[in-house]
Amino acid sequence: MAKFVLIGSGLAGGLLAAYLGRRGYEVALYERRADPREGNMVGGRSINLALSTRGIHALEQIGIADEVLKHAIPMRGRMIHPAGAEARTIFAPYDVDPNKHINSIGRAALNTTVIEAAQRYPNVHVKFNHKCTGVDIDSPTAQLLNTSTSQPLSASADRIIGVDGAFSAVRQSMQLKIGNFEYDESYLAHGYKELTIPPGPNGGWRMEKEALHIWPRKSFMMIALPNPDGSFTCTLFWEFEGPRSFATTKTDDDVRRFFEEEFPDAVPLMPNLVDDFKNNPTGSLVTIRCAPWFYKDKVALVGDAAHAVVPFYGQGMNAAFEDCVVLDECLAGFPEDRQRAFAEYFQRRKANADALADLALENFIEMRDKTASRTFRAKKKLDHFLEAALPGIYMPLYTMVTFTRIPYATAAHRARIQDALVYAGLIVAMILLVALAIRLLR
């Protein structure tokens, strides 16, 4: 059987290793970090994530969805915290069907589960503390550094898959070697910082547990996702620079003042606010688009390595998991022609990854600005009304992206048509109403 070397045992790396292991391939998975089971997961990435239909489907295929969902907390809608000390929270369900929800899941627990799923196959070998420093994409051979012993080593294989995240070393090697490799990275002017709302005195949740909390503040926002231990992980998305920004918020008083002005209901729940703010890293938010995602029948990219997106649709991991399903299908579809399998995988995923990148950027504006507006909430209600009235015909964009496996590009296209029809319908209805009113007045 062919040998695969995988670089990166993050969320997609572990899952892909399980898929390849199941097909009987020899798999060697190299991860630069220590084993997450040793409890020292570092990196400043989100502590919890929203897992939805696409991701769950990918986990189901390998038989670990129930195991993962055991630790998940359902989030049935958005809990909006409007500005102002006296403002009351507003709950907006994600779907007309109250059973449809997204799931808050811990990154470390999920990472461990997918790695353990891969390790159930005796043909999968995971090596932690091995950093890839480059790839000879022709042989193909990965150059590695054992970070425990500082020993360099190399790993040859029939194919190498880069599952090494947004700043992929495998992708960089492809960029150097492939003449017409397309590459684009763009950063938001906003960064993010994680903060904590600890559990209440009896270990309970100090806000509504089954919701994704949002404090929309037009140009910035804070969100909070529940954790199984009764805490919430909050993420502040805020400008790096500017008169009010990460850059200008330096002293303890600056931090307190900003939070008391903007998130007064959250402050009493955040006893470690100032320390968290000072000690936790400020992450950047990048969108990466590149092409192609493969080189001959030798190298391919999966997950963030191929298409990092900003986190505002809660789909980066879900899309990375969907990549694993599609790559597995393509490898099974063309067992004798791996280049065709990689090409097919790229062809099926690229337009969808690009569509998701755009949707994720648009959703930042929706979350930080529009969720606070009455017009937006009215549009959501209309969406839900039409979804209930026209089942299977009308589906809101959020529903298609989050609760179905309709390809992202198809969902975006379908939503544009639906919106155009709804707006046209509303204009016609308005004209008819005005005409009727004029007639009655006469």
Ligand X SMILES: Cc1cc2nc3c(=O)[nH]c(=O)nc-3n(C[C@H](O)[C@H](O)[C@H](O)COP(=O)(O)OP(=O)(O)OC[C@H]3O[C@@H](n4cnc5c(N)ncnc54)[C@H](O)[C@@H]3O)c2cc1C
Where on the chain is the footprint of ligand X (CB under 6 A)? 7-13, 30-33, 45-46, 49-50, 131-132, 163-165, 169, 192, 235, 283, 303-305, 311, 314-318, 320
Sheet holding 141-146, edge to edge: 130-136, 141-146, 151-156
Alpha-carbon distance of 350 to 292, in angstroms, equals 9
126 φ/ψ sector (left φ>0, alpha ψ -120 to 50, else beta):
beta
| Least spacing, CB of residue 390 vs ligand X, in Å | 29
| Least spacing, CB of residue 73 vs ligand X, in Å | 13
Closer to ligand X by CB, 7 or 126: give it: 7
Closer to ligand X by CB, 21 or 394: give it: 21
Which residues are registered as beta bridge partners of 288? 185
Q: Are 84 and 135 in contact (CB under 8 A)?
A: no
- Taking CB atoms, the residue at the shortest distance from ligand X is 10
| Least spacing, CB of residue 242 vs ligand X, in Å | 20
- Torsion of the alpha carbons at 211, 64, 408 and 31, rounded to the nearest 10: 100
Closer to ligand X by CB, 169 or 372: give it: 169
Closer to ligand X by CB, 145 or 422: give it: 145
Closer to ligand X by CB, 55 or 396: give it: 55
Alpha-carbon distance of 19 to 258, in angstroms, equals 47
Closer to ligand X by CB, 95 or 304: give it: 304
| Least spacing, CB of residue 96 vs ligand X, in Å | 22
Q: Tokens representing 69? A: 């969902």
* Positive or negative: CA dihedral 415, 421, 425, 431: positive
Give, for 193, the enclosing helix (H) or strand (E). Answer: strand 182-197
List, in sequence order, every beta strand (DSSP E) within 259-335.
Answer: 282-291, 294-295, 299-301
Alpha-carbon distance of 278 to 289, in angstroms, equals 32
Alpha-carbon distance of 255 to 418, in angstroms, equals 44
Q: What residues contact 29, with CB distance under 8 A and at least 6 apart? A: 5, 6, 8, 9, 13, 14, 17, 118, 124, 125, 126, 127
| Least spacing, CB of residue 361 vs ligand X, in Å | 14
Which residues are registered as beta bridge partners of 132? 144
| Least spacing, CB of residue 356 vs ligand X, in Å | 10
Closer to ligand X by CB, 36 or 292: give it: 36
User: Residue 85, Cβ neighbours under 10 Å: how many?
Assistant: 8
Closer to ligand X by CB, 58 or 386: give it: 58
| Least spacing, CB of residue 165 vs ligand X, in Å | 3
| Least spacing, CB of residue 375 vs ligand X, in Å | 26
Alpha-carbon distance of 324 to 305, in angstroms, equals 13
Backbone φ and ψ of 194, nearest 5°: -95, 140
Closer to ligand X by CB, 161 or 343: give it: 161
| Least spacing, CB of residue 16 vs ligand X, in Å | 8
86 φ/ψ sector (left φ>0, alpha ψ -120 to 50, else beta):
alpha
| Least spacing, CB of residue 313 vs ligand X, in Å | 8
| Least spacing, CB of residue 376 vs ligand X, in Å | 21
Q: Are 413 and 397 in contact (CB under 8 A)?
A: no
Q: Are 37 and 112 in contact (CB under 8 A)?
A: yes
Closer to ligand X by CB, 13 or 292: give it: 13
Closer to ligand X by CB, 123 or 233: give it: 233
